[in-house]
Amino acid sequence: MNKHIKIFFLFLFIITLPILSQNKYEALKRQAVILMSAGRYSEAIDQLNKYIAANPREADGYHKRGLCYEQRPEYQYSVLDLRRAVRLDPKNSEIKKDLDRVIGIWHKQLYQKIDGHTRDIAIDPNNAFSYLEIGKSYRWLEEWRKAEIWYDEYLKRDDNASADEIIRYTEILVKTGSLIKGELVLKKNTIRYPDDWRIWSRYGYFALWLGKYKVAEAAFKTSLSFKPFFQEAQDGLDLATNKAYLIQENPRAQEQVKYQNPIDKFYLLLDKDPENDPIRFDLINELIAKNRYEEAYQQLQYLKPKHNDEDQFKQIWKTVTDYRDTTFNKNVERYTATIKENPSDKEAVMKLAESYASLFYYDSAIEVLNEYLQDLPEDQDLDARFKYAQYSAWNYEWAKAVEQIDKLLKADPNNLDYQLLRGQICVWTVQDLDLAERYLLNVYDVRPQDLNLLLALTSLYSWKGNLREAGKYLDSAKQIAPNSPEVEKVQNNYEIQQAASEGQKVFVIKNQAIRLSEQGRCEEALAKYDEFRSKRTELSRDEMIEYAAIASCAKEYSLAIEYYDKVLSDQYDYKIALYRAKNYYLKQDTTKALAELENISESNPEDDEARLILADTYAMTNQLDRSELIYRELKSKTKNDLQQQELINQRIVFLGKYYAKNKNFDKAEQIFEEMDKEITNPDTRKDLHNCQLFLGDSYVIAGSYGDARNIYEDLLNKTMDTSEVRIVKERISWLPQTGLSSGLSSLGNFFSSFLPTTMGLTPFSTYYSDNQNFRLYNYGMRLNLGFIGFLSIGASWSKTNLDNPINSRNFTQFKGTTEILLLKNLNLSGNYGVLNISGESERRIGDISLRYENENDFSVAFSFENNDARTILYYHNLMNIRLNANYFRFSGLYNYNHIYGISGFYNYFSFGDNNEGNDIQFRLGRKLISNGFFGYEFYFSDYAFISASYYSPQNFVSHSIWGELNWEFKKLKLKASGKIGYVPKVDFIVNEIFGEAVYNPTLRLTITVHLGIGNSVRYDSSYKNFIASIFALWGIY
């Protein structure tokens, strides 16, 4: 009785298990429907992927997934899924309706895309990209004839189309039946892409279809030399050669008895005597008898040239071709029907996939295998999975192929076929070449005589540029098959790579020369280009132009002119003629420069660059009126171009110097007075002052001491630069004094030596606040007095208020200041004074700094400050704590060629509570646009211990991207900067925005405003702060 009960419950469990499983998968579909109604289509697709994997023969899953893709919108995938659904449920009108709708929307978009590119073509008829996109759109629309026309137009305009586009084009030509055109296109591209196995294989098929069997055979062999085991080429080679029969390592018993002996016998005889046609006829008859029509067809190719008109051949040919023409399609129909009845029939699945692949319908082959494999664990049917990976690779779906073959290698890492395919994919895609090397060498250890493997290794090392290693494997291949056309082709490609490598080394030298010239190292660039020139038989036109430009940069003007002459003798070019004229000017060969520039200006009066150089040449040849006339015309023409205005003003300033040289002092003074009102750029003003100083010196030489004194004293009133002041005063002291004037002057000079030469007043104010209710307000004033050129002394006073919701503190500072100019760009400054704190006793404070600065290219500074910690550390808990602080700071900045920048600082703090800490910031940047730098920032902060009184982090690290933009106007400079970064320790995003404006309403007054907002983290919580400051620098005299 118990036995019957157990059997009953076992039977009940078996029949209910599918129902439970079905309920589980139905839950996936219901969840997907809910997600679709909520508009969460990506998540719905994930659920439907699981449902389809469990129910690959159910149309509803594909239908719903297709609707999700429609909403994304990814119409290509939507149409694919809806077509699958229609195939599985052809009577479902709703699916057909949805398919028609999606196709309608997609096709409408494609036609709109076509219209848009058609408009682009109307604007620019030579835009090859537009023709290509129209051709692609018609390809998606399956309007093959139109697609062919537009691809033809594309290829007319882009003679360097990629190999992928050529493959797509030939697919269209197959659809339109343009086989002769396809063969010509592919033949041309086998020369352009000699290493592309796909081009060679496709060329082989077109030649085969046109009856060019020898050409097809060579093409397939060449393809396989680059990509061994490329199934498309292997199948083609089987059709074009007499080597289709493959002897299995372990033939089945019935094959050993019935099939192997006669056919093997004929193959062996033909190997010894390939010209024995009667034996080949016997082999063909035997192959037909055994239904091996494909091999029979391949053998017929050898007989066709000699026996095409014979009745025996015609009869066999008709029998084989009739059978062959229908075999693949019949196989598709037959195995499709079998699978529909039994989706788990592995043999039918493999045969159907193979038939599709033979027809080049790789998408269908992949789909068939995918539907079969979805229901199976990943460790089963590895042979089917291997075919899936192969077909995906042959269909250029590299990601699918790699994903599958990697799983196979995980399941069976020692399988040499898997390793070989993985290595081939790496070589075909020119990715992960190190991985390819490892796998291919593993195979080589076991199969060192495998010709295809040796050729693959040759290709691998050619890609890697290791021609010595590639040559080693090529030599091995030549020993195995010395007369093989495959080896010969690989050898030709190897020699091409070898020649290209030598040529590349030469062009590396040229590129080094160009990079050196871009860095301003022109002498080194010229020497490097000479090295490149010595390795070339003759420079091209473009190379001669490059060489002349580098020679000009290196101030080898005669050499530059020589090469510009060569270029112009071959073909006249306006720009080259202008460059040559410019070099004549720089060489100071004013006669030739003037003749060239006058001719150029006459031929193109609108070229402002040429006219500007012509005006410079007029100035150099003392034709000052003509020079000034052109300068004035150009200045009037470019009123809205501030940069060009500044350039012309600089030229006019030097024109004034030329007038002074010619003793036309009145004209020189007129020009300098005009420029003094217009020029605001500091560098150009410095040039103006130097030219005015030259005018004063010219007055001295002419004996007009009074006019010279007026010029010098005027310069004293205008300049604030201590070195310029010292030079001008020196000039004044050299002027002769006589009589009463001399006595009074001497007395005045005695008293004036105790008076400052410059005086500057700087009011300032700062406001700071944060989200912890801390506020700081500071204001004050600084007075600086300049003495004897290198010394400045002064005083500063400031008042600071610190405030939080509980308490507030007032700080008043008074310090004396001293600054010494040690060298031209090196100064030492110090401040010392007293700090008064409300409710506390006063204390001494001070700081000292040493700074070197070379304009905007390089600066470095070191400073030390001793003060109350509350004026350095902005923190609300520190309000009532008197804490001494020592603050050391080192900072630096370097700009290379105004393109690359590196900057940073290091701060060290020590406090009266025995705590100490440091901050480090390091920045790298590059100029990416004309007015902007962008780069990376590293920041680190660390203290000995965490204090409750002030912010003292430990091991705080952030990584940021920063940017800075600058704008410069006539009297205004603007700067905007910001950064965004990440703090890994607390998983927090930090950011900061900063702005600066510098305004010069008058020559002696500069007003600067800073604004900043920051968002950081302190002790695992957000910290936000705002800072604003303003100060004015007023040069009283």
pLDDT tens per residue, range 795-806: 999 999 998 878
885-924 confidence digits (pLDDT tens): 999 999 999 988 778 899 999 999 999 999 999 999 999 9
pLDDT the model gives residue 493? 61
DSSP 756: -
Residue 960: exposure state from Cβ atoms within 10 A (0-12, 13-18, ≥19): buried
pLDDT above 90: residue 93: no
Among 26-30, 349-353, 611-615, the minimum mean pLDDT is found in: 26-30
Phi, psi of 520 (to 5 degrees): 85, 5
Same domain, 854 and 930: yes
Residue ending a domain, choose from 341, 368, 390: 341
Q: Indicate which CATH number applies to the domain containing 133.
A: 1.25.40.10
Identify which has the larger pLDDT, 882 or 42.
882
Task: Find all residues with CB under 8 Å of 244, minimum gap 6, and list them.
Answer: 238, 294, 295, 298, 299
pLDDT above 70: residue 11: no
Domain contains 51: yes
Q: What is the mean pLDDT of residues 8-37?
A: 61
pLDDT above 80: residue 494: no
pLDDT the model gives residue 16? 43
Tokens linked to 466: 């290791």
Task: Find all residues with CB under 8 Å of 90, minimum gap 6, and list them.
Answer: none
Same domain, 751 and 776: no
- Structural contact between residues 411 and 377, judged by C-beta atoms closer than 8 angstroms: no
Q: 41 is in which domain, residue-wise? A: 29-192
Question: How many structural domains is the chain composed of?
Answer: 4
Same domain, 749 and 818: no
Tokens linked to 792: 């400045």
3-state SS of 651-693?
Answer: HHHHHHHHHHHCCCHHHHHHHHHHHHHHCCCHHHHHHHHHHHH
Among 348-362, 486-500, 839-853, the minimum mean pLDDT is found in: 486-500
Domain contains 429: no
Residue with tokens 């018609």: 138
Question: What separation in angstroms does the CA of 289 have from each of 191, 283, 351?
Answer: 42, 10, 21
Same domain, 730 and 852: no
pLDDT above 80: residue 250: no
Domain contains 777: yes
List, as one string, the DSSP characters of 458-495.
Answer: HHHHHHHT-HHHHHHHHHHHHHH-TT-HHHHHHHHHHH
pLDDT confidence of 5, banded at 50, 70, 90?
Answer: low
Task: Find all residues with CB under 8 Å of 265, minimum gap 6, and list them.
Answer: none
Among 138-152, 305-319, 750-764, the minimum mean pLDDT is found in: 750-764
Helices then strands, counting H and E runs in the chain, come out as 39, 16
CA atoms within 13 A on the CB side of 208: 25
Phi, psi of 828 (to 5 degrees): -120, 130
List, as one string, the DSSP characters of 72-99.
Answer: TT-HHHHHHHHHHHHHH-TT-HHHHHHH
Mean of per-residue pLDDT scores for the chain = 82
pLDDT confidence of 246, banded at 50, 70, 90?
Answer: very low
Same domain, 728 and 768: no
- Structural contact between residues 653 and 687, judged by C-beta atoms closer than 8 angstroms: yes
Q: Where are the beta strands (DSSP E) in 336-495?
A: none
pLDDT the model gives residue 301? 63
Same domain, 783 and 900: yes
- Structural contact between residues 867 and 886, judged by C-beta atoms closer than 8 angstroms: no
Work out the percent of the chain whose per-residue pLDDT is above 70: 88
Identify which has the larger pLDDT, 894 or 19.
894
Tell me whether the omega of the peptide bond preceding residue 73 falls within 30 degrees of 0, making it cis. Answer: yes
pLDDT above 90: residue 833: yes
Same domain, 823 and 933: yes
CA-CA distance, 627 to 1000, in Å (whole number)? Answer: 32
CA-CA distance, 224 to 219, in Å (whole number)? Answer: 9
Residue ending a domain, choose from 755, 773, 806: 755
pLDDT the model gives residue 858? 86
Tokens linked to 554: 């290196």
Same domain, 40 and 62: yes
pLDDT confidence of 302, banded at 50, 70, 90?
Answer: low
pLDDT the model gives residue 485? 46
Domain contains 915: yes
In this structure, the chain runs to a length of 1037
DSSP 521: -
Amino acid letter, 360 = F
Domain contains 628: yes
Same domain, 881 and 1022: yes
Same domain, 745 and 831: no
CA-CA distance, 322 to 982, in Å (whole number)? Answer: 70
- Structural contact between residues 716 and 743, judged by C-beta atoms closer than 8 angstroms: no
pLDDT the model gives residue 244? 41
How far the first Cα of the chain sits from its last, in Å, is: 121
Domain contains 11: no
- Structural contact between residues 952 and 943, judged by C-beta atoms closer than 8 angstroms: yes
Domain contains 153: yes
Q: Is 897 helix (H, G, I), strand (E, B) or coil?
A: coil
Residue ending a domain, choose from 737, 755, 773: 755
Q: Indicate which CATH number applies to the domain containing 924.
A: 2.40.160.40
Question: What separation in angstroms does the CA of 785 have from each of 67, 733, 775, 1014?
Answer: 80, 22, 33, 37
pLDDT above 70: residue 164: yes
690-747 confidence digits (pLDDT tens): 888 888 888 888 888 888 888 888 888 877 776 677 788 777 877 775 444 444 444 5
pTM: 0.38
653-678 confidence digits (pLDDT tens): 888 888 888 888 888 888 888 888 88
- Structural contact between residues 615 and 651, judged by C-beta atoms closer than 8 angstroms: yes
Task: Find all residues with CB under 8 Å of 973, minimum gap 6, and list them.
Answer: 966, 967, 996, 997, 998
- Structural contact between residues 353 and 381, judged by C-beta atoms closer than 8 angstroms: no
pLDDT confidence of 680, banded at 50, 70, 90?
Answer: confident
Greatest mean pLDDT among 12-26, 376-390, 900-914 lies in: 900-914
Domain contains 803: yes
Which of 963, 966, 959, 961 is CA-nearest to residue 930?
966
pLDDT above 70: residue 467: yes
756-785 confidence digits (pLDDT tens): 767 889 999 999 999 988 999 999 999 988
pLDDT the model gives residue 26? 76
Same domain, 707 and 799: no
pLDDT above 50: residue 201: yes
- Structural contact between residues 916 and 908, judged by C-beta atoms closer than 8 angstroms: yes
Question: What separation in angstroms does the CA of 684 have from each of 245, 397, 627?
Answer: 86, 62, 19
pLDDT the model gives residue 360? 62
CA-CA distance, 834 to 844, in Å (whole number)? Answer: 5
Same domain, 626 and 737: yes
pLDDT the model gives residue 359? 62
Which of 489, 579, 519 is CA-nearest to residue 224?
489
- Structural contact between residues 1029 and 767, judged by C-beta atoms closer than 8 angstroms: yes
CA-CA distance, 760 to 965, in Å (whole number)? Answer: 30
CA-CA distance, 581 to 314, in Å (whole number)? Answer: 79
